Amino acid sequence: ANGKTASEARFRSYDYLNRTSRSFAAVIKELDEELMDPVCLFYVILRGLDTVEDDMTLPLDLKVAQLRSFHEDIYKEGWTFTKSGPNEKDRDLLVHFNYVIEHFLSINPVYQTVIADITRRMGYGMAEFCTRRVATVEDYNLYCHYVAGLVGVGLSKLFAASKLEGEVFSQMDDLSNSMGLFLQKTNIIRDFLEDHLEGRLFWPREIWSEYCNDPEELCADQNLDKALACLNHMCMNALEHIPDAIEYMSRIRNQSVFNFCAIPQVMAISTITLVFNNPEVFKRNVKIRKGLACKLIMEAQNVDVVRAIFLEFLNEMARKNNNARDPNYVRISTLIAQVRWRL
């Protein structure tokens, strides 16, 4: 490809990044030059895979085959995917995926291999969950590993390959996985109503079946006590990943990598504190205020400050744990204390 189309391909990758997530696009642009393109491509390629997984209009066999072949399709110049349903949010990305591929083929093959390997493992994992539900907490952790934990694993390998972080990051799968699980579980809790209205459910049966016979019941006003108890149980499950996330961030040496990793984590602790014991979760999509988000972005500069931010939100969550009718009241208070001491 001549210089013009190569720079056009690069421009389009960033254009898709900006369109899929404006706020996170700003965070990626904070990254050191060496990592910005590989991470931007990783993000956009994962969005492509996510668009296939999310498309409920695709026949199951076609969806499964496409999820499993995506890691090979990203090497095919000119390849595009035009079978997405007309209303799919990022349909346009797949229709013009040839530009992403052109950009992908222009970066260091070491980064290509990391991205392709994670894309393969994630695609197979998503395909596995096309034909099975998230029933147990173990299923829940496995599903979140596939769609989010692997992103953390892949990013750690990109950090190591770039030499901006030590080689030790290429073998930091457990801590990297926890970085993904904390973000993904927070999103799954926050997005309960939005997902429910689209006929999607990620909350594991092993948890919600303690509080209702069908998740639909959690939306009914007269079941608010049960719904809040279930919500708080889900939050407790997510809090368990916080010590690993803090440990991961304590090992980062490069400032731009730290900012890139810390900002989503402080957003997540703020979000999970907001949704904890909050009836609004079953009424509308609860989001932290823009002003608070900006404050957190400015503050999250090193692991000591990030640890202090987490402790402050854990105190807030302990204060909100005031529901005497919540059967988990004591468990929550004990867990918050345990997480605090481990930070």
Ligand X SMILES: COc1cccc([C@H]2O[C@H](CC(=O)N[C@@H](CC(=O)O)C(=O)O)C(=O)N(CC(C)(C)C)c3ccc(Cl)cc32)c1OC
258 binds ligand X (CB under 6 A): no
Of the candidates 32, 122, 27, the one whose C-alpha atom is nearest the C-alpha of residue 74 is 122
Give the residue among 111, 92, 93 at the shortest CA–CA distance from 156: 111
| Range in contact with ligand X (rule: CB under 6 A) among 65-73, 127-135, 148-156, 212-220 | 148-156
Q: In angstroms, rounded to a whole number, what is the distance separating the alpha carbons of residues 62 and 50?
A: 15
* Nearest CB to ligand X, comparing residues 177 and 328: 177
How many CB atoms are located within 10 Å of the residue 131 CB? 8
* DSSP assignment letter at 200: -
Q: Give catalytic residues, as residue numbers.
A: 143, 190, 200, 260
Helix runs in 21-59, H state only: 22-28, 33-54
Task: For residues 340 and 343, give the distance between their C-alpha atoms in angstroms, rounded to a whole number.
Answer: 5
Using the rule CB under 6 A, which residue among 9, 31, 39, 339 binds ligand X? 39
46 makes contact with ligand X (CB under 6 A): yes
Candidate residues 261, 266, 269, 306; the one interacting with ligand X per rule CB under 6 A: 261
Which of residues 48, 180, 204, 215 is near ligand X by CB under 6 A? 180
| Of the candidate residues 38, 48, 125, 152, the single one contacting ligand X (CB under 6 A) | 152
Buried b (16+ CB within 10 A) or exposed e, 4-33: eeeebbbebbbbbbeebeeebbebbeebee
- Rule CB under 6 A: choose which of 127, 183, 242, 246 binds ligand X: 183
Count CB neighbours of 172 within 10 A. Answer: 21
CB of 248 to ligand X, least distance (A): 7
Is position 43 an interface residue for ligand X (rule: CB under 6 A)? yes
Question: How far from chain centre, in Å, is Cα 154?
Answer: 13
Specify the stretch interacting with ligand X by CB under 6 A; choose among 5-13, 40-48, 60-68, 234-242: 40-48
- In degrees, to the nearest 5, what angle opens at C-alpha 167 toward C-alphas 163 and 173? 120
Q: Does 24 bind ligand X (CB under 6 A)?
A: yes
Q: In the set 16, 42, 211, 313, which binds ligand X (CB under 6 A)?
A: 42
CB of 245 to ligand X, least distance (A): 9
Contact stretch for ligand X (CB under 6 A) within 17-25, 84-92, 95-103, 120-128: 17-25
How near is the Cβ of 40 to ligand X at its closest, in Å? 8
* Amino acid identity, position 309: I
Residues that bind ligand X (CB under 6 A): 21, 23-24, 39, 42-43, 46, 147-148, 151-152, 155, 176, 179-180, 183-184, 187, 260-261, 264
